[in-house]
Amino acid sequence: MNTPFISKIVKFIGLSVIILPFISCERLQMMGKEYREKLTFLVEHARDDQEEAKKQFRSALEEFSSLIDFEGGDLQVKYEKLNKQYERSKAQAQRVKGRIAAIESVAKKLFREWEKELNLYESDNLRRSSEKKLDATKESYEKFIDSMKRAEGKMDPILSRFNDQVLFLKHNLNASAIASLEKTVIELESDVTQLVEELEKSIAEANALIEAMGIE
């Protein structure tokens, strides 16, 4: 009989008895942290992108509004400024849209992992506590993603109006074309105001979700 070999096996088993509880404990402490960190990161950036969207759409509206009071000068320069604002608004809207898909993907992985790992708890109290936090985080997430989608949904109609006017002015750089903008600008003011309100709601929900996901 290989006594040294048996001795090694006994030592290994002994060490396993000591080490495994610590590994399990660490596993429980770390569960979901990777996905929570990723989701928090994405939500923070989505919040910042929506803040930038507020500023950009307001800036574009101001550029359109300034045309109503246009009293002379280089219309080509005015058109180029307007087109630049439209392009910036479109790019910012794309950034917001891109965040939604990424957030939904990571959130799905986080919640699936979290639900599976509830079964790893030996303590019923800890399991219930984790399950309660999971439910609260899910609820906060749903409010946030719904509000973000509502805000994002208001961007395309505004961008379409911006685009129509930019294209029209491109081939009609004259006083009568400028005069025809007044009604459109009034409508755009209402649309942008509603968009900003939705963005502010979504930003507030983002902050609430970030707080709910706080990693201890």
Question: How far is the C-alpha of 21 from the C-alpha of 37, rounded, in Å?
Answer: 25
Taking only the tens place, the pLDDT of each residue in 32-41 is 468 889 999 9
* Model pLDDT, residue 216: 44
Highest mean pLDDT among 11-15, 124-128, 170-174: 124-128
**Structure tokens belonging to residue 110:** 């986080």
- The answer on pLDDT for 211 being more than 70 is yes
Nearest to 144 by CA among 213, 192, 191: 213
Parent domain of 7: 1-30
For residue 168, the tally of other CB atoms under 10 A from its CB is 14
* Model pLDDT, residue 215: 54
Q: Are residues 3 and 72 located together in one domain of the fold?
A: no
Q: Are residues 52 and 15 located together in one domain of the fold?
A: no
Question: How far is the C-alpha of 134 from the C-alpha of 120, rounded, in Å?
Answer: 15
Q: Are residues 3 and 92 located together in one domain of the fold?
A: no
Q: Are residues 82 and 20 located together in one domain of the fold?
A: no
Overall domain count for the chain: 2
**Structure tokens belonging to residue 30:** 């770390």
- The answer on pLDDT for 78 being more than 90 is no
Q: Are residues 50 and 106 located together in one domain of the fold?
A: yes
* Model pLDDT, residue 24: 46
Q: Are residues 102 and 189 located together in one domain of the fold?
A: yes
Q: Are residues 18 and 39 located together in one domain of the fold?
A: no
Q: Are residues 41 and 24 located together in one domain of the fold?
A: no
Q: Are residues 9 and 69 located together in one domain of the fold?
A: no
- The answer on pLDDT for 29 being more than 70 is no
Q: Are residues 41 and 18 located together in one domain of the fold?
A: no
- The answer on pLDDT for 152 being more than 70 is yes
Q: Are 98 and 155 in contact (CB under 8 A)?
A: no
- The answer on pLDDT for 172 being more than 80 is no
